[in-house]
């Protein structure tokens, strides 16, 4: 199986069977302690899992529009370049005054097979995006366009979102608890070890349900 | 048709067929760039559209109650004066420690035909208000009454809510994306041009769905 | 009836028939003006009422883990000690970087008859907790464990949560509007007088629905 | 000696010989644990001690000016009513967009024998006020007048400033460390016991300077 | 006299004889109510007045450096282009993690006759800049360079700093009270009318010093 | 020369001849990009340089005091254990409600040869500490003691202060621009390379003063 196919399969496994808490624990165990986004980035539709490979874009606040500004040029290029399982990660540096994402970009991304969108800015057309079923995780909603307010200036460069460093190719994984960035170098190892942790937690859950004390269970398994 | 009826009809059209993102774009195009409330004011029930004419009231934090305080006097007067399609806009200057709105005021407003309530303070009795179906957009919920904590001091004067200037008679329009204030002088023009923009976006959506590139679509229509 | 049974009965009455707004008003009337948590602590599942007796624990941020840290020791002890109607109140001093609560602690607490959990930190495994039906009120969700990040250091000592003082034995009462702390000394009096206020509000609601002006109703009943 | 003279003498003693840290410790010991203003209110001139009796005024944000607004009316009345040792406490509820105080009000207050000014809003004409030597403690400086932006609405009513309740007649005491509110009922007791604590600290300082260990000194005096 | 010389003379008059409070009042009177920067931008040396013509540059947060980044290219171009009385206005959108200004840029700007620097980012080499006597107003100090962290992307375009719109050519005026932006179209009118207001305030000051009541003085002059 | 003496000599060199901006640049160059404290931690006396070896202590907010609390026990132990050039780094996790440092601890530390104190909490007795000449860098001043409010719980464990990881033995270096943490493993290398950078900057300064363009100077030296 090609490495691309293997990656694609891992992404499916992660999306369908894992959850962010166990992946965050695994990353902690591997020595990666700063991979969880600060609370405040939430899914438009909590039932949609966000799982795919980051395509990082950096926005910049602007305060005008004119013929030379070409506010959408790089945004259009980034979205037109999306591939299966890609997740545009639109870094707004915490600026909630703009919505770099909306229905039409979701339509195009969905057409290209992208796996969702992550931004620390806001999003608009939220009702239509929910109806479309496209996974979008964002800092809130806002009817305001980027025109006059912000422009994507660089993409496929390193970024930082909600306190976490992210590069194109990292795994973005979000569910109802939050969003985790898995560095590209440890995607396989992280997913593999996460499945082991799930097994251990199942044992613990069973023992709790039969009435064992936490102090005894933790003494046996060192998992909580 | 009287100008009052015409306004009433426009409000209905806006409530039923438009959405805040397109209205915000139209206001941008008309040169009004600061009409969208800062994210953080959300509907108690996201399925309820808020659309009506502002009746602005300004609150003041207080720290005691006694016989001379008459904490509810102006609030009662404002609510008793509401007319069809009015939307009390209760400006708390971002103070979330008080709930100037609740079930009983919703009941009375609903009886008078008011179209909803907007506040940058909090709201209480949120479950009953949701059940009642009255559209309330607010900064959160809080069981705390205004008694001992805040008093409406002036009404039908200019105010500012979540960063946007608002005067009685302006159109308040809120949906799942956020809330927009349309100045009274441009209500008709804004609604008219918003419908034009909806048509253009429908074309773009069709072209995206058939697989056109964004760069080509934007080149043709300059809409995104 | 034993005083313990009486308390247990009052908790049931409160949980099933009261709401936080009326309890907050009653506490105001009794001279307790700082009993409502600052907005921002919300239920994982808004349909679950939180009502029980506080068991206060204080967390401390930490920045490492090693063999001497024993990060879970006191947390395990506190949870293993829970009794029917207890509500662990996990004071994180507003730190949202940690989730001191999750599915397995909810399982154990539920087994022991605890009435829910309240924290100004975050919570993880939110989907499973919602499915379990265990009432958890928190400052948000976060996949991050306390390991490497925080440790419970003291319990059954006074605390402060979202601006309100709380001690073990106080009544914790939360619903969709927010959360109220009823000091242990006035639980009975507060619940009793809250029922009286509910009756008065029912009268007011009826009069509003038949079209009376607020100014007249308030003149008659002094309730709003 | 009249009680007024005795109060005046205590104010002088406090201003000249005490410091806020020891007064805060004394209030803690007397059971008053919330008397220190949250950091952020600082003196225009750190060499000026603020010590006098509060005259509380509450401001309200406004967003316009017209003939009926009479923005300065109550402010003028409050300042014209100041007596020797009075300290106007201008409660802006943390609003730094207005400067309710400036050079001309300082001139008038100084003429009337007032002891300074405390506000959680801003101040303007800061250079002239510093040159005048009038003690002003504030949340910052801002060239913006209150006209169009804020109005004093009530005075000689209870207020809250930087998290502390304050009423007219309370002692306001500020130095380079911060500002403390001493409730009127315990002014004499607080000042008396503060002088005792100063004596104990002098002993401790001497023992530290001769090289004693803190653990031994604290064992002997229980003061730190 | 050329219009350039006249502007240069007005800048000198403003720098030497006016203060921001009176200029802010004048702008209010002319209908410009949003010209004062939000408190928090302060002078490195409070004795230095900032007065000159804005040259606006917009920064963007970045998170890496490599050969293609050329982090300083536009910054160098902007500073090399400064003329007598110019004031670079470096818009960082409130980002205090970078210091876009330091000693060497101050040296070059000073050599070119620039009148100072204004930024809502931070500044480094603060001691040397103070010793040099170059007027710098900023959001704080920070030893961190922009390399790896931020880049100037556009200049001589409209910007916004601490809540105020600013364009190249506007007058920037800062003193110990704060900073005001005077739009280029009203510089002459604003300065002229500010001198009139100074005269009126001198009269008021004299009347206060002779003991007149504020209520009478305000009745006579309507100035405070 | 012993390694201890060599370290001591490097600390002296750093304190007397370097500045934080150049050390931060050197750390950036060595790949350490997160060593500068977030702005907001400032010196009580800007003329005092803070330079020494970290002794990390972690505080925890508490909300009561009783005989078992022993609020000062570990604080006393940490301070009594200080050695020449030590700098207690008191991690309060951004809590400004407490002052873990004051005059008496400064006296004892000074007696033991400690090089200063760094905290993200507040400090009291600021006037006396300034007079004493002991270098203290803090988040502000506050008359409030830790008693009833906070307790040092662990020391000589890893901590985080104003966004930067710090361990006992790291070099703490603060001046008027801010504070930098140099990890113990790279102290020598950092100081050495910082001196090289100072030399390069001196050349640049000379060229600026003789009127060279920045674009030419940067082309030659790649330093700014």
Question: Over the stretch D115-154, which tens digit does the pLDDT of each residue have?
Answer: 999 999 999 999 999 999 999 999 999 999 999 999 999 9
Measured between CB atoms, which of F62, F63, F93 is closest to C61?
F93
Could you give the percent of chain D with pLDDT greater than 70?
A: 100
Taking residue F204's Cβ as centre, other Cβ atoms within 10 Å add up to 22
Q: Using CB atoms, list chains with 3+ pairs below 8 Å to chain D.
A: B, E, F
Number of helical (H) and strand (E) elements in chain D, helices listed first: 7, 10
Q: Using CB atoms, list chains with 3+ pairs below 8 Å to chain B.
A: A, C, D
Any chain E CB within 8 A of the CB of F40? yes
Name the burial class of residue D223, with classes exposed (0-12), middle (13-18) and buried (19+) by CB atoms within 10 angstroms of its CB: middle
Give the mean model confidence (pLDDT) for residues D42-70: 97
Supply the pLDDT for residue A2: 83
Q: What is the DSSP letter of E38?
A: P
Contact across the interface for E28 and D139, Cβ inside 8 Å:
no
Side-chain-facing half-sphere of B205: CA atoms under 13 Å = 14
pLDDT tens digit string along F152-178? 999 999 999 999 999 999 999 999 999
Q: What is the DSSP letter of C101?
A: B
Give how far Cα A13 sits from Cα of A89, A178, A187, F128, Å.
Answer: 21, 18, 12, 63
Supply the pLDDT for residue C178: 98
What is d(CA C128, CA D61) in angstroms, rounded to the nearest whole number?
46
What is d(CA C19, CA A93) in angstroms, rounded to the nearest whole number?
40
Supply the pLDDT for residue A223: 80
Q: List the pLDDT tens digit at each of the 224 positions of chain C.
A: 688 899 999 999 999 999 999 999 999 999 999 999 999 999 999 999 999 999 999 999 999 999 999 999 999 999 999 999 999 999 999 999 999 999 999 999 999 999 999 999 999 999 999 999 999 999 999 999 999 999 999 999 999 999 999 999 999 999 999 999 999 999 999 999 999 999 999 999 999 999 999 999 999 998 87
- How close A206 gets to chain C, by Cα (Å)? 10
Any chain A CB within 8 A of the CB of B203? no
Measured between CB atoms, which of A25, A39, A177 is closest to C96?
A39
Any chain C CB within 8 A of the CB of A34? no
Supply the pLDDT for residue F2: 83
What is d(CA E95, CA E38) in angstroms, rounded to the nearest whole number?
14
What is d(CA E216, CA D181) in angstroms, rounded to the nearest whole number?
33
What is d(CA A11, CA C204) in angstroms, rounded to the nearest whole number?
58
The pLDDT of residue A1 is above 80: no
The helix/strand/coil state of D23 is helix
Any chain C CB within 8 A of the CB of A17? no
- Start-to-end Cα distance in chain F: 36
The pLDDT of residue A186 is above 80: yes
Instruction: Identify whether the C-beta of residue E78 lies closer than 8 Å to the C-beta of residue F211.
Output: no
pLDDT along chain E (224 residues), means of 10: 87 96 98 98 98 98 96 98 98 98 98 98 98 98 98 98 98 98 98 95 95 95 84
Measured between CB atoms, which of F58, F63, F64 is closest to C62?
F58
For C222, nearest residue in chain B (alpha carbons) = B72
When scoring E65, E92, E94, E154 by the number of chain A Cβ atoms within 10 A, the one with the most, hence best to mutate, is: E154
Give the mean model confidence (pLDDT) for residues D12-30: 97
Residues facing residue F173 across a β-bridge = F51, F180
For A215, nearest residue in chain C (alpha carbons) = C76
The pLDDT of residue A21 is above 90: yes
Contact across the interface for E28 and D147, Cβ inside 8 Å:
yes
Instruction: Identify whether the C-beta of residue E92 lies closer than 8 Å to the C-beta of residue A95.
Output: no
Cα dihedral across residues A201, A202, A203, A207: positive or negative: positive
Q: Virtual CA dihedral for A15, A18, A21, A23, nearest 10 degrees?
A: -90
For E167, nearest residue in chain A (alpha carbons) = A63
Confidence of residue D222 (pLDDT cuts 50, 70, 90): confident
What is d(CA A140, CA A122) in angstroms, rounded to the nearest whole number?
5
Tokens of D2: 């009249």
When scoring A67, A143, A149, A150 by the number of chain B Cβ atoms within 10 A, the one with the most, hence best to mutate, is: A143
Any chain F CB within 8 A of the CB of E42? no
Residue A62 falls in which region: left (phi positive, over 0), alpha (psi -120 to 50) or beta:
beta
Give how far Cα B4 sits from Cα of B1, B8, B10, B110, Å.
Answer: 8, 6, 10, 20
Average pLDDT across chain A, whole number? 97
- CA angle at residue E121 from E118 to E126, to 5 degrees? 75
Instruction: Identify whether the C-beta of residue F117 lies closer than 8 Å to the C-beta of residue F87.
Output: yes
Q: Using CB atoms, list chains with 3+ pairs below 8 Å to chain C.
A: A, B, F
The pLDDT of residue B46 is above 90: yes
Any chain B CB within 8 A of the CB of D146? no
**A abuts D (3+ Cβ pairs < 8 Å):** no
Question: With contacts defined as CB-CB under 8 Å, which chain C residues touch F158?
Answer: 63-64
**D abuts B (3+ Cβ pairs < 8 Å):** yes
Confidence of residue A222 (pLDDT cuts 50, 70, 90): confident
CATH superfamily of the A34-183 domain: Ribonuclease E inhibitor RraA/RraA-like (3.50.30.40)
- CA angle at residue F21 from F16 to F23, to 5 degrees? 65
What is d(CA A78, CA A56) in angstroms, rounded to the nearest whole number?
9
Q: A179, A111, C13, F42: which is closest to B208 by C-alpha? A: A111
What is d(CA F92, CA F84) in angstroms, rounded to the nearest whole number?
24
Instruction: Identify whether the C-beta of residue D184 lies closer than 8 Å to the C-beta of residue D171.
Output: yes
For C160, nearest residue in chain F (alpha carbons) = F63
Tokens of D129: 């006020």
Measured between CB atoms, which of A102, A111, A127 is closest to B176?
A127
Q: Virtual CA dihedral for D180, D186, D188, D190, nearest 10 degrees?
A: -50
What is d(CA E41, CA E119) in angstroms, rounded to the nearest whole number?
8
For F56, nearest residue in chain C (alpha carbons) = C63
Question: With contacts defined as CB-CB under 8 Å, which chain E residues touch F35?
Answer: none
Question: With contacts defined as CB-CB under 8 Å, which chain D residues touch E205?
Answer: 103-104, 107
Contact across the interface for B33 and A148, Cβ inside 8 Å:
yes
pLDDT tens digit string along C107-148? 999 999 999 999 999 999 999 999 999 999 999 999 999 999
Supply the pLDDT for residue F224: 77
Contact across the interface for D157 and B60, Cβ inside 8 Å:
no
Contact across the interface for B21 and A145, Cβ inside 8 Å:
yes
* C2 contacts: CB under 8 Å, gap ≥ 6: none
Supply the pLDDT for residue B1: 63
What is d(CA E99, CA E102) in angstroms, rounded to the nearest whole number?
7
For B218, nearest residue in chain A (alpha carbons) = A76
- How close F60 gets to chain C, by Cα (Å)? 5
Tokens of E188: 């002459």
From chain A residues 148-177, the ones with a CB under 8 A of any chain C CB are 175-177
Measured between CB atoms, which of B62, B159, B165 is closest to D58?
B62
**A–C: how many Cβ contacts below 8 A?**
78
The pLDDT of residue D1 is above 70: no
Measured between CB atoms, which of C60, C64, C157 is closest to F64?
C157
Cα dihedral across residues D125, D126, D130, D135: positive or negative: positive
Confidence of residue F1 (pLDDT cuts 50, 70, 90): low
Supply the pLDDT for residue C1: 63
Cα dihedral across residues A50, A56, A62, A64: positive or negative: negative
Give how far Cα E154 sits from Cα of C56, E60, E93, E105, F48, Å.
Answer: 54, 9, 13, 18, 39
Contact across the interface for C142 and A36, Cβ inside 8 Å:
yes
Average pLDDT across chain F, whole number? 97
Question: With contacts defined as CB-CB under 8 Å, which chain D residues touch B152?
Answer: none
Measured between CB atoms, which of E33, E40, E213 is closest to D148?
E33
The pLDDT of residue F3 is above 90: no
* B213 contacts: CB under 8 Å, gap ≥ 6: A80
Pairing of strands D86-91, D50-61: parallel
Any chain D CB within 8 A of the CB of E198? no
Cα dihedral across residues B95, B98, B100, B101: positive or negative: positive
Residue by residue, DSSP assigns E47-79 as: T--EEEEEEEEEEEE-----TTT-TTHHHHHHH
Tokens of C151: 């440790």
Question: With contacts defined as CB-CB under 8 Å, which chain F residues touch C64?
Answer: 157-158
The pLDDT of residue F52 is above 80: yes
pLDDT tens digit string along A38-86? 999 999 999 999 999 999 999 999 999 999 999 999 999 999 999 999 9
Tokens of E31: 């209908």
């Amino acid at each position: 199986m090609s490495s691309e196919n293997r990656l694609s399969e891992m992404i499916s496994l992660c999306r369908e069977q894992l959850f962010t808490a166990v992946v965050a624990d695994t990353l902690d165990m591997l020595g990666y302690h700063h991979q969880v986004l600060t609370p405040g980035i939430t899914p438009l539709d909590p039932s949609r899992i966000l799982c795919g490979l980051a395509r990082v874009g950096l926005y910049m606040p602007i305060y005008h529009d004119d013929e030379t500004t070409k506010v959408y040029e790089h945004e259009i290029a980034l979205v037109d370049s999306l591939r299966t399982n890609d997740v545009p990660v639109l870094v707004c540096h915490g600026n909630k005054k703009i919505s770099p994402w909306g229905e039409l970009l979701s339509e195009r991304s969905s057409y290209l097979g992208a796996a969702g969108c992550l931004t620390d800015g806001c999003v608009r057309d939220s009702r239509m995006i929910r109806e479309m079923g496209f996974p979008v995780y964002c800092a809130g909603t806002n009817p305001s366009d980027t025109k006059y307010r912000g422009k994507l200036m660089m993409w496929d460069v390193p970024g930082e979102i909600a306190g976490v460093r992210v590069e194109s190719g990292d795994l973005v994984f979000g569910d109802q608890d939050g969003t985790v960035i898995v560095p590209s170098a440890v995607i396989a190892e992280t997913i593999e070890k996460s499945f082991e942790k799930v097994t251990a937690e199942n044992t613990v859950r069973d023992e709790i349900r039969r009435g064992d004390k936490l102090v005894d269970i933790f003494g046996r398994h060192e998992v909580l």
